[in-house]
Homo-oligomer: A and B are copies of this chain.
Amino acid sequence: MEIYSLEPHELMKNMRSRIDSELVRFFEEQSETRLDDVCMDIRNRIREFTMNGGKRLRPMLVVMGHDLFAPHSDLIYRAAISIELTQSYLLIHDDIMDQSETRRGKPSLHAALREQIKSRVSDSSRISQNLAIVAGDLADSFAHQSLLDSGMRPDILLKANVELSRIIEMTGYGQLIDIESAFNENFSQRDLLRLHLLKTAKYTIEGPLYMGAVLSGTSEDLKPLQYYGMLLGTAFQLHDDILGLYGNEQETGKSIKSDVNEGKKTLLMLKAMELCSDSQKKFIRDCLSSGNISDSDFHKLRELVRDCGSYEYSRNMMARMISKSKEYLSEVKGETRIKKFLEWFADYIVERKN
């Protein structure tokens, strides 16, 4: 457990590099199986998509969830990459659904495929989308296999895989609510918080930590750890939405206007519509449905959300969640140094710039 003596940023960097090595190893093992050209091409693209960036927060939390209750080991890294492969799976499908052209500063998978085939395929948009749907499905299959092949105890792996499936299930429900939110006139703050809980908190924080703890084989009560994860994960999304309106394109790696152009009903927007005048409300609605907001309207929207108090409302809710998550953390049993890291991590999550 020497690793936990490191300063938090160093610890994260160290774990990130070990996780990356495991991912490299996984794809190298995969590539030993020869396949038809199109299959190898797609497999390579899944590898590139996965290796290109990502902070590896999720697998890191799997490792920490495990290490809270059991000795640090190499095997846990093998199991932990499953959640990063799940992330690739979900993002590939997400980008299709959102028709996003970029991801982490590069073309999204379906966009890259479209460019590759467009000179010889007339229906290249649809075909590249189909290839990307299957690529996502394959990444999901890789996720399960990486977990099951990790060499940990069968009975424990079984429980962890149930949790992995459940994470994917909950994220799916979150995605359904997200899709429906676009045409649900009565989409409320309560609906939004459930969406964040299902679509973000579960698979970003709570699920990975819980899955890691399950992999440790502990019989401790995991409820406090789960509550920590749910609260922190929801705060993570609220912060993401703030970055989506006020962040820096260079740092976030995505177009600053994309949330608005996608018509995302974030807490910032919902609360602003509640607080402001009818004409301002109409302005916000128009911005969200424009699909291509102008620079001046975007600037005006940012000002409005700040001036009406909605920005502050989001910040306050986030702060309350962080504070509450720390309360739950204090009830968590297990390795003190990890708990200390998780306390630091709660602040990091809502202060990060990307």
Binding site for B on A (CB under 8 A): 35-36, 38-39, 42, 93, 96-97, 99, 117, 120-121, 126-127, 130-131, 133-134, 137-138, 140-142, 144-145, 148-149, 154-155, 157-158, 161-162, 165-166, 168-169, 172-173, 175-177, 179-180, 182-183, 191, 194
Closest to A173 in B: B39
Closest to A162 in B: B148
Query: Across the interface, do B127 and A183 meet the contact criterion of CB distance under 8 Å?
Result: yes
Query: Across the interface, do A144 and B161 meet the contact criterion of CB distance under 8 Å?
Result: yes
A93 partner, pick from B131, B137, B161, beta carbons under 8 A: B137
Contacts A138-B172, A166-B145, A183-B121 given; does A194 touch B36 at CB 8 Å: yes
Closest to A138 in B: B172
Identical subunits present: 2
Query: Across the interface, do A35 and B148 meet the contact criterion of CB distance under 8 Å?
Result: no
A42 to B138, CA, bound (A): 23
Contacts A36-B177, A96-B133 aside, 18 further interface pairs with beta carbons under 8 A come to A36-B173, A38-B176, A38-B179, A38-B180, A39-B176, A93-B137, A97-B130, A120-B183, A130-B179, A138-B172, A144-B144, A144-B162, A144-B165, A145-B166, A148-B162, A149-B162, A157-B158, A158-B161
Query: Across the interface, do B93 and A133 meet the contact criterion of CB distance under 8 Å?
Result: yes
Query: Across the interface, do A179 and B134 meet the contact criterion of CB distance under 8 Å?
Result: yes
A141 to B176, CA, bound (A): 15
Residues on B with C-beta less than 8 A from A191 are: 36
Query: Across the interface, do A169 and B157 meet the contact criterion of CB distance under 8 Å?
Result: no
Query: Across the interface, do B172 and A141 meet the contact criterion of CB distance under 8 Å?
Result: yes
Q: Show 30 residue pairs from A and B whose CB-CB distance is below 8 angstroms, ordered by the A residue.
A: A35-B173, A36-B176, A36-B177, A36-B194, A38-B180, A39-B177, A42-B176, A93-B133, A96-B130, A97-B133, A117-B183, A120-B183, A121-B183, A127-B179, A130-B179, A131-B176, A134-B172, A138-B173, A141-B166, A141-B168, A141-B172, A145-B165, A148-B158, A148-B162, A149-B162, A154-B157, A154-B158, A157-B158, A158-B158, A158-B161
Residues on B with C-beta less than 8 A from A36 are: 173, 176-177, 191, 194
